[in-house]
Structure 1
């Protein structure tokens, strides 16, 4: 493979930029990992030697690249204030650097990398230390601008345009008057090309607000981004009084929201072990194990596991927080959130729920949680062309004041402007998409349940843990778009997978149906470990999309027929 899922593979545009940074600022035999800020880069810098005491901190350095404002007068660039921080290290340390990058989700997006790479090539994005040296050498006096002329003209119309309800370009065509200079025309054309005609930075803050309000459940449709201020909202679909958009925090990806939720808990409550409850997404468990004092892992997420946890609590053990998914992936089991909340209230620990798979149109988990995290990359976006994550603080939670204080002090908004605009646009119709996907998933389940080759089917509606799902299900909620199943034989599974005419890959929540040999992809090096928790290697996971029902029926019929012929 030359590339892959952007949470596991470093995007080619990011890798190319990193290579050029090393050429200019590093040494032969070194690599660079790119981050959006100084603090995220330094977290990686600290992590690497923490995993191997034999590594000297002198082997690693951070290069902070910032905008040279003496070369820029463009309103757009000055407002964006793009930056990149590169952790440069010997090639031998790549596995540890990649661990931090993958587990934390702190890395840069490909859009940010591509944009900053172009500035780097032009000499406009430079090492911060060099700017300080220049300032010292000139005794703080201004220097003559020598940057490319296209950055020196303020050709941007600063008025707030009306939102484009057609869903096309959000950028005004900044066409200079006929008597404008060629340099101004060059600047105008350059900025439009760089932003791909999809970004007006004056709308980014409004787009973030719209996203946060959708997540809070107070905005279910479109909003005119150019209208400021937004109309006030007095209610939300979450059913939690006092929940405001200021309690919603956006992150560059879902994993990043989980990582920072854990960091927030550690800072607010101290160094205590966590609990990983239920079979988790692979990187969630790694976060809880590698940062802080570690965790207790309950892979089944069963009532017996809760019995064991309760016994430990009664014996005096204390924990930071319980982390769980609702429902889990890939078996779609649901933990008993009511009992978990009762234990948390009695024995003083936090509850962090990942609602990505359930999504708040179908389930309402916030009343049982102190923090709710989600990957917006999935069904909230649906388009499979942008990443994002969110964390909600429950204003009625027992740790709200502590967590809010911590979030206010440590939250860093690293969500790149272009990614924000894509996510806002993609999420405008997420409610209707979820409703249709719910119906399509139920249709596929009915087909699979009736087929004699299917050994096991995993879906919240048909799992033994349905009562826990229904306890949180919204009045109009369905059971989601994710399901998994196992054939009687491996040969049948292989034949089905080869024949099914859908996209194939590791993500979920896409607008199109996506088939995945999930366990082989996510747990290839630990298949026996996964099997201990009832997660077989031959499991096939389906993320159901928006296709026509008859189309889906015919595709699955053909693939099931191929499975029938596999043993003949």
Structure 2
């Protein structure tokens, strides 16, 4: 489908896709709208119906947070909402670390849980709708928001809407109040029993419980229908465990067929496995609320396993990855070029005895689409004892197989794995042949919380069913657009793995049928050319990537507006335009881009 911009001025702030309550992108259709957003100009901010969820707190979340403060806070206080007490505690730790003057008594956690009476009466579902609110003085909102953004562990908008409804009816209450109420029993038998599920008449699918795999693989629930009161429709939350299992099998590469949920779970576990690593299965796949959450928690678990050591960020990074490594631990060694000379410098440091926790890198990088030399990095890691964490979001595992070089592979499922731009998610994959696997597995087993909200999981599973054919078409379209841009004399440079000087490193990891992905970027000889081209480009325009429709943005303006000189020092120019190519007709896309190129002034 093509998302057309009809009226750029009035489209500012609209959801992408249109009329999507939980959209993860927002329309910023002109260069000036992107600048206005970054500068906080009222003509843009006043029109924002939504935004990218880690940067823009959804209005339903804001509404719920305000209600919690009204019920439990004091005048002038704000609240941040998290899916568990453990996450809320980490937010408080960050607040005190960044603002030491903040007194212990000035911050509190309110754990909202179902009341005993409502649980016993069967009002609350099998999926616990718990919320942990951190309430703090309003002047510290910016710091709390930074934790929300960097960690990616805030509640989703669907979870907030669902739980706000229960809260307004008195079903969700402060856990301290519930502890004061005697517990008579655990509720009706149908809420106690966990059995196999036969969704549509297929033979029941069972999963043997394992103490080593508490990663959303709980025994599948019975098919009880529940009513989601706020929307007045049936929502079968018993599908959640099966949906998560199917998602994890797709990420593991053992589920590649475009089939419904029931049939998906009857297929052979290792059918057409895409990730060629011995001993690997979905038991080594962990789901997270967002892609950044998978990075944040991987870093946290690595420190818990290997100690408080500095990390290495190799290559120009997605902004929050670097912030995590800098703010949550002893610091970071940053190699922004991701060059062979950077690895030479790292090797010299290692030879002198410097010790590091892990090297974090993207494959390929965003937005320059450079590919790191994973073989050399793996050799250095094995020789000098550090872990390797690879973000495969841009490449995706159908195009590249990076797991053999990693200890942990992370990804944003929000992007092309979903494609529909209406749900968040992330994953972390452990390499069973990695040198730290046994100790990392122990840490994950002890620490992991499955905080991916039930309804989000159901949406994500449905969206990802046609993941394989979508990737093939996106690869084809991206190469066609790349060819159009590369042959135009006013385009300074096109960044794409196929035409990058680092292509040999990409090809080392490319799968037999893999392409070069759906993300590319271009720079222009002047800002005037970039602006004219972008404003005339008839695609959806906003943050995010990996959408089923082509999505464009002046990426450096959006991601690094306050540090443009710093970004430019690593070759990331302010007039760069990034394209996430979608599923449109190839010739139609080519025509759209050629038309925009003609708009540049003579």
TM-score (norm 2): 0.85
Alignment partners' CA distance in 1, 2:51 and 2:542: 9
- 1:382-461 equivalent positions in 2, closer than 5 A: 382-461=419-498
Matched, 1:282 2:319: yes
Aligned to 2:559: 522
Q: Residue 341 of structure 1: CA displacement? A: 0.3
Q: Deviations over 1:93-123 (max 9, x none)?
A: 0111011110000100000000000000000
Alignment partners' CA distance in 2, 1:296 and 1:356: 22
Alignment partners' CA distance in 2, 1:90 and 1:192: 33
1:339 pairs with 368, 371, 376, which one?
376
Matched, 1:63 2:129: no
Q: Residue 194 of structure 1: CA displacement? A: 3.7
Matched, 1:504 2:574: no
Matched, 1:370 2:417: no
Q: Deviations over 1:392-438 (max 9, x none)?
A: 00000000001000000000000100000000000001110010000
Alignment partners' CA distance in 1, 2:180 and 2:224: 39
Q: Is the 8 A contact 1:456 1:487 kept in 2?
A: yes
Aligned to 1:212: 248
What are the ranges of 5 or more consecutive residues in structure 2 without an aligned counterpart?
1-44, 203-221
SS of residue paired to 2:428:
strand
1:34 pairs with 75, 78, 81, which one?
81
Alignment partners' CA distance in 1, 2:303 and 2:368: 29
Q: Structure 1 residues 258, 195: closer, same or farther in 2, change over 3 A?
A: farther
Matched, 1:225 2:261: yes
1:20 pairs with 62, 67, 70, which one?
67
- 1:173-212 equivalent positions in 2, closer than 5 A: 190-191=227-228, 194=231, 196-197=233-234, 199-212=235-248
TM-score (norm 1): 0.90
Aligned to 1:178: none
SS of residue paired to 1:356:
coil
Aligned to 2:215: none
Alignment partners' CA distance in 2, 1:106 and 1:163: 34
Q: Residue 161 of structure 1: CA displacement? A: 5.3
SS of residue paired to 1:545:
coil
Q: Residue 336 of structure 1: CA displacement? A: 0.3
Matched, 1:246 2:293: no
Q: Is the 8 A contact 2:257 2:264 kept in 1?
A: no
Alignment partners' CA distance in 1, 2:184 and 2:424: 42
Greater RCO structure (CA 8 Å; 6+ sep): 2
Aligned to 1:474: 511
Q: Residue 163 of structure 1: CA displacement? A: 4.9
Q: Structure 1 residues 295, 40: closer, same or farther in 2, change over 3 A?
A: same
Alignment partners' CA distance in 2, 1:220 and 1:159: 23
Q: Residue 515 of structure 1: CA displacement? A: 0.6
Q: Is the 8 A contact 1:163 1:224 kept in 2?
A: no
Alignment partners' CA distance in 2, 1:205 and 1:142: 25
Q: Is the 8 A contact 1:163 1:225 kept in 2?
A: no
Aligned to 1:102: 149
Q: Is the 8 A contact 2:223 2:238 kept in 1?
A: no
Q: Deviations over 1:293-338 (max 9, x none)?
A: 1110000000000000000000100100000000000000011000
Matched, 1:78 2:121: no
Q: Is the 8 A contact 2:255 2:264 kept in 1?
A: no
Q: Deviations over 1:355-390 (max 9, x none)?
A: 000001100000000000000000000000000000
Q: Residue 77 of structure 1: CA displacement? A: 2.4
Alignment partners' CA distance in 2, 1:53 and 1:160: 51
What are the ranges of 5 or more consecutive residues in structure 1 without an aligned counterpart?
146-150, 166-170, 175-187
Q: Is the 8 A contact 2:539 2:550 kept in 1?
A: yes
1:118 pairs with 165, 176, 180, which one?
165
Alignment partners' CA distance in 1, 2:121 and 2:339: 58
Q: Is the 8 A contact 1:65 1:128 kept in 2?
A: yes
2:592 pairs with 533, 537, 555, which one?
555
Q: Residue 237 of structure 1: CA displacement? A: 1.1
SS of residue paired to 1:86:
strand
Q: Is the 8 A contact 2:162 2:230 kept in 1?
A: no
Q: Structure 1 residues 310, 196: closer, same or farther in 2, change over 3 A?
A: farther
Q: Residue 4 of structure 1: CA displacement? A: 1.3
Q: Residue 230 of structure 1: CA displacement? A: 4.3
SS of residue paired to 1:77:
coil
- 1:524-539 equivalent positions in 2, closer than 5 A: 524-539=561-576
Structure showing greater radius of gyration is 1
Alignment partners' CA distance in 2, 1:545 and 1:506: 14
Q: Structure 1 residues 561, 396: closer, same or farther in 2, change over 3 A?
A: same
- 1:274-313 equivalent positions in 2, closer than 5 A: 274-313=311-350
Q: Residue 475 of structure 1: CA displacement? A: 0.7
551-560 or 472-481, which moves further after superposition? 551-560
Q: Structure 1 residues 28, 400: closer, same or farther in 2, change over 3 A?
A: same
Alignment partners' CA distance in 2, 1:553 and 1:532: 32
SS of residue paired to 1:461:
helix
Q: Is the 8 A contact 1:484 1:539 kept in 2?
A: yes
Alignment partners' CA distance in 1, 2:434 and 2:92: 34
Alignment partners' CA distance in 2, 1:195 and 1:172: 19
